[in-house]
Chains A and B, each alone.
Chain A
Amino acid sequence: MEIEVKDLCVSIQGKKILEHASLSMKSDEITVLMGPNGSGKTTLGMAIMGYPGLAIDSGEILVDGKSILGMGPDERAKLGIFMQFQEPIEIEGVNLENFIFAAKTAQSKVSARQIEEDIEKAIKILDLKEEMLKKDVNVGFSGGEKKKVEIMQMLVLKPKFAILDEPDSGLDVDTLKKVAEAINMYEKESHAGILLITHYTRILSYINPTKVYVMDKGKIVASGGRELAEKIEREGYGFIEG
């Protein structure tokens, strides 16, 4: 799968958030999108996933050459796009296991046994407690558990392209390592494309990016390889204003 964001301008309630942003990503690659807080990284992820609260003023989002702008988030998910949220919402009364079943069966025809096996495998990889499956989705979960449960959904839903929005924020070292291992493993096994959104470089100690983009004030201001992330590690984001 190849995703191209072309000259994308996005606003929220009249306020411009993305201004002529362009980048391309594809399967078997880990693309890292970095930038200071409020630079528009999450908005870009949400725009690809189809958040209805955003106004697409101009530009295009193409998947394998075809526009997805007219598609709802559910249709984009069925195409194989997945987003891990920074702050996933709580769903009272719906237990995690049922939710994953509902999501998986909405996307593809797969046996219940297969889903159970995939869940079991994901739980082991992420070192999650099995009893969490019986809890309501994200209700009473710690920050680390929420991140892990999001990554678990990715492992079970098996998307072709995953947008991971700050999977590293608020995690202790051990949990960060676990999450990064799961991301690496998934990318290698599935050959999926990954867009990893972060403003810290510490997750890059465990994940090797193919490409790095830097976003500031809604624009892509730099792009390169791992060396760009290392520069940010050394100098911070000051250089992008220079």
Chain B
Amino acid sequence: MLEWLEDFGELEKERGELYKRHGRPIPIRFEDKSSGREKGTSKDYDIVAFSSEHASSVESEGISIANDAEIIRLTENVSNPLTISIEDGKEVTMNMAFIFDSSLPSKIKIRLGKHASLDIYETFSSNFSSDGILSQEMELDESSKLNLVALHKEPANANYALLSLVHSGKNAEARLTNVFAGGNRLHHGTIGVAEDGGSIASSTVAVAGSSQIIDLSSLLVNEGRNSSIESLTRAVVKDNAECLVKELAKVRQSAEEASTYIEEKGLLLNDGASFVPMPDMAVDTNNVANASHSSAVFPLGKKSIFYIMSRGVSEGNARQLFATGFLEKLLTGKFGSEKGKIMLEEAEASLNSKLRS
């Protein structure tokens, strides 16, 4: 565990209270459902990582590998993580495929040196009906910049738990975008800490369908002066799916002039779908620049669909138009580089495919 996580006993207690108040809807237990898996992607990756050393061959996944790519088979031991380190002052853009082919826990560490910059585009998929457990630690040194975009397109029978730990050092910027377009049961926990002048901007985009449950929880801490935290979530929920978003923003006494903002919005495409936002905030300083949260649930009404259909658009396309428009807001501007643009197309295609299914 990172040093900055050691002092989290009290916060964990608060989070425990939050869960107690609202109930904890999803146990850390996964059930296996078998159904067809998605076809592998065809894209050049700089790194391809498997969660087991006994993985099937790369070729069978339909993945083409860049000449200088690294293929990594993570061992069963969590203490032997995949580590991506960017030296002081270096700027790197890369993409990575991560394939869950084992239910054993895996770990990725990202380290950014002073003034370093990393644009990383991650695609998560699965070999078979495997459950997956992955933690990703991100440690940003002074004035470094991280732009991480993760596209989750695990097959509909995969259940997985993800933990993101991010520490934004002095004047460092962490921009995290998670796109959830696959899987069955998903639990994603985020713990983030921003030091003096440091910032964390997290955007989460999800489509939940069938009887899927997506459980998102965050603990976001303004630790230092002038630190900034923003967490935006948008989910489109359909069929009998559920999406729960529990976030606690904590502004420490030391975090004067800090700002923190949580926004949780859900669009329900039909009556059986459910979106439960639970934003929460604990501010320990009187001198805070901004501390606010908002949440909203929008059921897609007959009149809205009717309006679009009255222009000649079919009902299915009308629903999709609303849904993609609703999600697009959080995707805009997150995919600057060439690799990012490819990723955006892939993300939009995956989201659309799930919306149509």
Contacts and interface: CB of A to CB of B under 8 A. Distances in A.
Interface string A154-193: 0001000000000000000000000000000000000000
A91 B321 contact: yes
A55 B328 CA distance: 36
B337 to A, nearest CB: 23
Contact of B313 (A74, A85, A153): A74
B310 A82 contact: yes
Interface string B303-324: 1101111111111011001101
B33 to A, nearest CB: 32
Given A51-B306, A53-B303, A103 B329 contact: no
B24 interface: no
A106 B317 contact: yes
Given A51-B306, A89-B304, A89-B307, A136 B313 contact: no
A21 interface: no
B309 A72 contact: yes
A92 B328 CA distance: 9
Contacts of B308: 91
Contact of B314 (A53, A74, A91): A74
A74 B314 CA distance: 6
A32 interface: no
Given A72-B315, A92-B325, A94-B325, A53 B302 contact: yes
Interface residues of B, number: 23
B311 A153 contact: yes
Contacts of B317: 102, 106
Interface in A83-114: 83, 85, 88-89, 91-94, 99, 102-103, 106-107
Given A53-B302, A92-B329, A93-B329, A103 B307 contact: no
B306 A103 contact: no
Interface string A27-61: 00000000000000000000001111100000000
Given A89-B303, A102-B321, A49 B326 contact: no
Contacts of A102: 311, 313, 317, 321
Contact of A93 (B302, B303, B312, B325): B325
B121 to A, nearest CB: 22
Q: How many residues of A sit at the interface, in one of the four size bands? A: 20 to 34
A85 B307 contact: yes
A20 interface: no
Interface in A53-73: 53, 72-73
B327 interface: yes
B311 A77 contact: yes
B325 A91 contact: yes
A107 B309 CA distance: 11
A88 B315 contact: no
Given A52-B306, A53-B303, A85-B307, A103 B324 contact: no
Interface in B255-310: 302-304, 306-310
B307 A106 contact: no
Contact of B324 (A52, A93, A106): A93
Nearest to B304: A89
B325 A136 contact: yes
A72 to B, nearest CB: 6
Contacts of A6: none
Contacts of A50: 306, 309-310
Contact of B306 (A73, A82, A157): A73
A33 to B, nearest CB: 18
A92 B312 contact: no
Nearest to B314: A74
A52 B305 CA distance: 10
A207 B313 CA distance: 31
Contacts of A103: 311-313
Contacts of A74: 309-315, 318
Contacts of A93: 324-329
Nearest to B326: A93
Given A52-B302, A92-B326, A93-B326, A77 B307 contact: no
Nearest to B318: A74
B120 to A, nearest CB: 26
Contacts of B314: 74, 106
Contacts of B321: 91, 94, 99, 102
B296 to A, nearest CB: 11
4 A-B pairs closest in CB distance:
A93-B325, A103-B311, A77-B312, A107-B312
Given A51-B303, A74-B310, A85-B310, 6 more contacts: A82-B310, A92-B329, A93-B325, A93-B329, A102-B311, A102-B317
Interface of B: 302-304, 306-315, 317-318, 321-322, 324-329
18 contacts: A50-B310, A52-B302, A73-B309, A73-B310, A77-B312, A78-B312, A88-B307, A91-B304, A92-B329, A93-B327, A93-B329, A94-B321, A94-B324, A94-B325, A99-B311, A102-B321, A136-B325, A157-B312
